[in-house]
């Protein structure tokens, strides 16, 4: 006997919606924290099992094998077990929001955890954060669907899952909240913030309880903010902005190139050797790279920092450290893209942190080598600031970068420099690239929801929902009698004129027929070709709604035809229908 319907009715009768959302937010916080802890544990166990015996005094040839095996195992798991695309986790969340479905497939509650653990544990140069954010959002979405909540409530639970995931995996509740508002670009009301806070605090508390209260990266501030370093802070932000631009543009270009290679096996054969060779040359590219981040943040001098070269061909040549770090900045994007394009699963969260840390350290080292320079900057501090700069630039999320790095490291003593670097980086990249690495793919398709309500509503509106389908069709050779017959059996005032294949040729408007429709002597003398009119504009089924509105504004028409990619007639869109739906959605989006 199925008792779930009784549970739903009892819940509706005894628990108010707001209270129930808070309860679900708490459950989501617990589940996302446990998922994040499980993923991190799996990655650590796999990586330790494979690499704990590696030599630190020279190259390790198994670096050429492990990444290939990891991508192969992940590809087989995705292809034959999951049987669905699970890449670009945060982009998938944005797409679910953009389509106003807010429904994420059930397998995403576990598939991304397994796939990313295999990928990263075997050396894939990606991060675990985006997969766990997708996992958290999927948990929220599926819990909401289970209790048959509406679209707006589902959106809030998707946000709770994402916020809880970031909060739990980074032990950063404020950053989890800011990430959801800034990166996912969901316009929540003040009343909606409470469930997000519950999810963030719960996830962080569970993670602290299980893994301890220490920060993800230990950082001990030895040089506080100094006003004479202000030019260096600003230039570091600009430097991070340009590296973010390089990372974003090259990643998208490489993804396009890999897509042109062919099917998944061809991409695997091309991408996996690239990844393995890069990791062999630069072992720091193995996995998330968090050990190297800790080393650069806490190293006390060249003796500590030279440990970065361990296990590589550069070992024993400390004079090549800066060259090694510059190579990492250049090739990290190749390693990350090769990992995902070859069949691996991971995100760009960790690569942004890793690259930012390296960029900050390299900038500070070069700054201190400038001839005649009297303002020495601490490499540790600038490594920390670089992390905020790259995250701000790559994600177009300065607030997330500021709060996440402050919470990750406890580096609140550098809060003002964090703000300067993050803002300078964001202002630099925004000049050249209006979209983040997550939103760029959706923006190209016109499927991106933003904080602009007008644009958000047009994006959320479905083309299918405003098309008026027609079964009646006229042909150029039809006589007036046939026209009158169709008019008499229809309530419409406009009719499509198509050829024998169904391709739209013109339209026939009732006003063009009204003065002759009762003259029976003309029924066989006048034809549709004598009465039809050319279309003011033609829309296609793939046009976004902002293009539809622009066409109405440009033509001043009240009704426009819609065709498919082959020119076959589909239906009409009426301006009044679009405006009525726009007003309804504006009301739904604006109300509490």
Residue 326 has pLDDT above 90, yes or no: yes
Residue 449 has pLDDT above 60, yes or no: no
Higher pLDDT, 448 or 473: 473
CATH of 455-590, one of 3.20.20.70, 3.10.20.30, 1.10.10.10, 3.10.580.10: 3.10.580.10
How far is Cα 467 from Cα 170, in angstroms, rounded to an integer? 46
Instruction: List all residues 6 or more positions away from 434 whose beta carbon is below 8 Å from its beta carbon.
Output: 443
Rounded mean pLDDT, 490-507:
85
CATH 3.10.580.10 spans which residues of the chain? 455-590
Q: H or E segment at 264?
A: helix 264-281
| Neighbour count for residue 88 (Cβ, 10 Å) | 21
Question: 512: pLDDT confidence band, cut at 50, 70 and 90?
Answer: confident
Burial of 476 (0-12, 13-18, 19+ CB in 10 A): middle
User: By mean pLDDT, which of 400-414, 435-449, 471-485 is the weakest?
Assistant: 435-449
Q: To the nearest whole number, what is the mean pLDDT of the chain? A: 85
Q: Which structure tokens are listed for 382?
A: 């600038």
Question: What is the per-residue pLDDT for 559?
Answer: 86
The predicted-structure confidence for 357-406, as pLDDT tens digits, reads as follows: 999 999 999 999 998 888 899 999 999 999 999 999 998 889 999 998 88
Question: What is the per-residue pLDDT for 592?
Answer: 41
CATH architecture, range 4-211: Orthogonal Bundle (1.10)
Residue 163 has pLDDT above 60, yes or no: yes
Please tell me the CATH code under which domain 227-445 is placed. Answer: 1.10.3080.10
Question: 458: pLDDT confidence band, cut at 50, 70 and 90?
Answer: low
User: By mean pLDDT, which of 191-200, 352-361, 409-418 is the weakest?
Assistant: 409-418
Contact between 157 and 144 (Cβ < 8 Å): yes
Residue 101 has pLDDT above 70, yes or no: no
How far is Cα 544 from Cα 442, in angstroms, rounded to an integer? 12
CB environment 261-289: b (16+ within 10 A), e (fewer): eeeeeebbebbbebbbbbbbbbbbbbbbb
Instruction: List all residues 6 or more positions away from 306 whose beta carbon is below 8 Å from its beta carbon.
Output: 318, 321
**Helix and strand tally (H, E) in the chain?**
26, 6
Higher pLDDT, 222 or 469: 469
User: By mean pLDDT, which of 177-191, 424-438, 560-574 is the weakest?
Assistant: 177-191
Contact between 559 and 470 (Cβ < 8 Å): no
Can you spell out the DSSP letters for 44-97? HHHHHHHHTT--SSS--GGGGTHHHHHHHHHHHHIIIII-S---SHHHHHHHHH
Q: Which structure tokens are listed for 304?
A: 């500590």
Residue 447 has pLDDT above 60, yes or no: no
CB environment 325-341: b (16+ within 10 A), e (fewer): bebbeebbbbbbbbbbb
Question: What is the per-residue pLDDT for 222?
Answer: 75
Percent of the chain with pLDDT over 70: 90
Highest mean pLDDT of the ranges 143-157, 171-185, 405-419, 420-434: 420-434
How far is Cα 537 from Cα 521, in angstroms, rounded to an integer? 34
pTM of the entire predicted model:
0.77
How far is Cα 166 from Cα 347, in angstroms, rounded to an integer? 13
How far is Cα 109 from Cα 129, in angstroms, rounded to an integer? 14
Contact between 512 and 531 (Cβ < 8 Å): yes
Residue 455 has pLDDT above 80, yes or no: no
Angle (deg, nearest 10), helices 111-121 and 17-51: 30
How far is Cα 357 from Cα 366, in angstroms, rounded to an integer? 14
Question: What is the per-residue pLDDT for 9?
Answer: 80
Question: 4: pLDDT confidence band, cut at 50, 70 and 90?
Answer: confident
How far is Cα 490 from Cα 478, in angstroms, rounded to an integer? 17
CATH 1.10.3080.10 spans which residues of the chain? 4-211, 227-445
Percent of the chain with pLDDT over 90: 39
């Amino acid at each position: 006997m199925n008792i779930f319907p009784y549970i739903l009715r009892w819940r509706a009768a005894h628990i108010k919606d707001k209270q129930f959302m808070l309860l679900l937010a708490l459950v989501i916080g617990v589940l996302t924290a446990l998922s994040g802890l499980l993923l991190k544990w799996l990655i650590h166990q796999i990586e330790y099992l494979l690499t704990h015996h590696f030599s630190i005094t020279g190259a390790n040839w198994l670096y050429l094998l492990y990444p290939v095996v990891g991508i192969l195992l992940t590809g087989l798991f995705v292809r034959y077990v999951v049987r669905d695309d699970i890449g670009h986790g945060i982009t998938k969340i944005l797409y679910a929001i953009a389509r106003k479905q807010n429904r994420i497939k059930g397998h995403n509650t576990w598939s991304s955890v397994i796939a990313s653990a295999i990928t990263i544990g075997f050396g894939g140069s990606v991060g675990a954060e985006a997969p766990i954010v997708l996992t958290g959002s999927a948990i929220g979405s599926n819990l909401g669907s289970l209790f048959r909540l509406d679209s707006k409530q589902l959106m809030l639970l998707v946000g709770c899952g994402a916020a809880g995931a970031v909060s739990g995996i980074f032990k950063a509740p404020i950053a989890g909240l800011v990430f959801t508002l800034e990166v996912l670009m969901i316009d929540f009301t003040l009343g909606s913030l409470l469930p997000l806070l519950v999810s963030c605090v719960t996830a962080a508390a569970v993670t602290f309880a299980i893994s301890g209260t220490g920060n993800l990266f230990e950082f001990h501030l030895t040089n506080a903010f100094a006003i004479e370093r202000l030019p260096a802070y600003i230039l570091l932000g600009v430097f991070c902005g340009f590296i973010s631009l390089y990372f974003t543009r090259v990643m998208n270009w490489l993804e396009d190139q890999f897509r042109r290679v062919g099917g998944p096996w061809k991409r695997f054969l091309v991408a996996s050797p690239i990844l393995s060779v890069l990791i062999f040359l630069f072992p720091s590219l193995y996995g998330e790279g968090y050990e190297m981040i800790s080393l650069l943040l806490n190293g006390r001098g060249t003796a500590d920092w030279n440990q970065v070269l361990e296990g590589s061909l550069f070992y024993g040549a400390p004079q090549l450290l800066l060259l090694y770090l510059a190579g990492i900045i250049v090739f990290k994007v190749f390693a990350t893209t090769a990992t995902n394009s070859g069949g691996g699963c991971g995100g760009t969260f960790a690569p942004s942190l890793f690259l930012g840390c390296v960029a900050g350290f390299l900038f500070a080292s070069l700054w201190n080598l400038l001839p005649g320079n009297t303002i020495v900057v601490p490499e540790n501090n600038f490594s920390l600031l670089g992390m905020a700069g790259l995250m701000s630039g790559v994600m177009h999320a300065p607030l997330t970068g500021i709060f996440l790095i402050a919470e990750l490291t406890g580096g609140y003593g550098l809060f003002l420099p964090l703000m300067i670097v993050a803002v300078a980086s964001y202002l630099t990249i925004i000049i050249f690239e209006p979209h983040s690495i997550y939103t760029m793919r959706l923006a190209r398709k016109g499927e991106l929801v933003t904080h602009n309500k007008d644009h958000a509503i047009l994006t959320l509106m479905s083309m299918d929902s405003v098309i008026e389908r027609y079964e009646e069709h006229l042909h150029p050779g039809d006589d007036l009698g046939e026209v009158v017959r169709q008019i008499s059996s229809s309530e419409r005032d406009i009719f499509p004129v198509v050829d024998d294949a169904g391709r739209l040729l013109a339209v026939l408007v009732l006003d063009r027929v009204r003065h002759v429709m009762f003259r029976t002597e003309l029924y066989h003398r006048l034809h549709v070709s004598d009465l039809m009119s050319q279309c003011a504009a033609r829309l296609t089924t793939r046009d976004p709604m902002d293009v539809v509105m622009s066409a109405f504004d440009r033509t001043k028409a009240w009704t426009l035809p819609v065709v498919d990619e082959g020119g076959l007639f589909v239906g009409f869109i009426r301006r009044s229908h679009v405006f009525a739906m726009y007003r309804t959605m504006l009301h739904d989006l604006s109300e509490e």
